[in-house]
């Protein structure tokens, strides 16, 4: 039996149908993947609402870096693959550093 790895999307944009389609979230769920979408807008940008935002059971809104770090440390998240939907730039480095601190597996696509 193969153990499924969890995919955790970390994003500074709200989850919408377009985001879910563009990043194959729906496809991954259909194939049985364990998926979470961590919305970190409150941590890196000014809080805002977005037209068409989804509210699904795999969505988490993170409000503090302490909450972020606590989730990373949970046993069920330690072998996850973190799909980084944030820019790899100075302004947004703290999430990358925090995940590196715990040797998390990150995927970043520069597109």
Strands 34-39 and 59-61: parallel
Q: Tell me the mean pLDDT in the region 33-62.
A: 84
* 52: region left, alpha or beta (phi > 0 left; psi from -120 to 50 alpha): left
CATH topology of domain 6-108: Rossmann fold (3.40.50)
CA 111 to chain CA centroid, nearest Å: 17
CA 67 to chain CA centroid, nearest Å: 13
Spell out the domain ranges in the chain: 6-108
Query: Is 1 a residue whose pLDDT tops 50?
Result: no
Query: Is 62 a residue whose pLDDT tops 90?
Result: yes
Contact 8, 77 (CB under 8 A): yes
For position 89, what pLDDT does the model report? Answer: 81
């Amino acid at each position: 039996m193969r153990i499924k790895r969890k995919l955790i999307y970390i994003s500074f944009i709200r989850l919408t149908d377009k985001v879910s389609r563009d990043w194959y979230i729906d496809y991954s769920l259909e194939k049985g993947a364990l998926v979470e979408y961590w919305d970190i807008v409150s941590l890196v940008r000014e809080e805002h609402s977005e037209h068409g935002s989804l509210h699904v059971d795999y969505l988490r809104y993170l409000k503090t870096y302490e909450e972020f770090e606590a989730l990373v440390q949970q046993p069920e998240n330690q072998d996850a693959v973190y799909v980084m939907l944030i820019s790899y730039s100075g302004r947004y480095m703290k999430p990358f550093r925090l995940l590196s601190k715990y040797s998390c597996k990150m995927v970043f696509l520069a597109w």
